[in-house]
Amino acid sequence: MLKRVLLAVAILVLSAVIVHVGRDGYRDSSGRPVTWLTAFYYATVTLSTTGYGDVVPVSDSARLVNTLVVTPLRVLFLLVLVGTTLEVLTERTRTEWRQERWRSKVRDHTVVVGYGTKGSSAVQTLLKNGFDPAAIVVVDTDPVRIAEANRRGLVGIVGDGSRSEVLERAEIRKARHVVISAQRDDTAVLTTLTVRRLTRRATVVASVREAGNAPLLQEGGATSVVTSSDTAGRLLGVATLSPKVGQVVQDLLSYGDGLELVERPADARDVGKEPRAVAEPVLAVIRGSRTMRFDDPAVETIKQTDRLVVVHSVPDRAAGPRSRPH
């Protein structure tokens, strides 16, 4: 765009110089001499319109220059303007067509509000778990972060994730998962309330810095709340008391390295067994909407409809997991 503007200005200046050099062949209807201002005025109205007739070429040489030089410059000037307009309209139409096509096809996608350190780490974990980059929509106010998300193949939307119109552009009503990783706790609470007002079907996972704000998110409709400052503080404390335990916990939280904490459905080899008897270490059993620890007396034995939270090792996973981790 800047190059085209400079080209249009150059054409205008060149036309004015040509008129001023041959000013003796032009006549101003007001009777005043043809000055630089008159030359630029004539060049402007001639290139952009057909002229007003108040400044006209009267000599043969001036008319010849207008025919052979100024008229082609006018055509070039109009081509620059029209070409730029057509290109902008074409690009806008193409963009709107792509957006409408995406909106018509997208279903059960994941919306990530906030693409800072926490948001990008969450996206990286999702991608390593087999999520399609085209099915992850990132919403952030920073265009640089959105550009980075686009380079990773994600769908990026620049805007405030706490505003309904921005979430509507992300097709929040069709989303299956919503990850809220705002920088401020009040923004996270407002975003959660806005998301829940627009959709009830999506699983909403939100992050806050202070544990005191977690109940606000839960009351606002968050399915799960992660307290970043408290979690990091507890990990620091564990690592201080026992560095090896801290390494194991860090290993569990890092996808693709050593141990992994995953959720999977119970299979035929698990049914009827106590959690301690399962080959993989079972930490919790999910039965319906209830999550029970492995030592909860209510568990007794594993049922076919149960889901298990287990510690999964990478070598076993490379040999072929029994189900896709969640």
Residue 113: per-residue pLDDT: 95
CA distance 2 to 8: 10
In total, the chain counts a number of residues equal to 326
Whether residue 321 is predicted with pLDDT greater than 70 in this model: the reply is no
Least confident of 140-154, 248-262, 281-295, 300-314: 248-262
Retrieve residue 157's tokens.
């939307």
Question: In this prediction, what percent of the chain has a pLDDT beyond 70?
Answer: 90
pLDDT reported for residue 285: 92
Query: What's the mean pLDDT in 236-256?
Result: 77
pTM for the model stands at 0.60
* Stretch among 11-20, 141-150, 184-193 having the lowest mean pLDDT: 11-20
Lay out the sheet containing 282-287: strands in order across: 259-265, 307-313, 282-287, 290-293
Q: What is the pLDDT of residue 231?
A: 76
Tell me the C-alpha distance between 140 and 179, whole Å: 12
Residues with Cβ within 8 Å of residue 38, at least 6 apart in sequence? 19, 23, 26, 28, 32, 55
Does residue 247 surpass a pLDDT of 90? no
Average pLDDT over residues 165-178: 93
List the single range of 69-73, 226-230, 253-257 with lowest mean pLDDT: 253-257
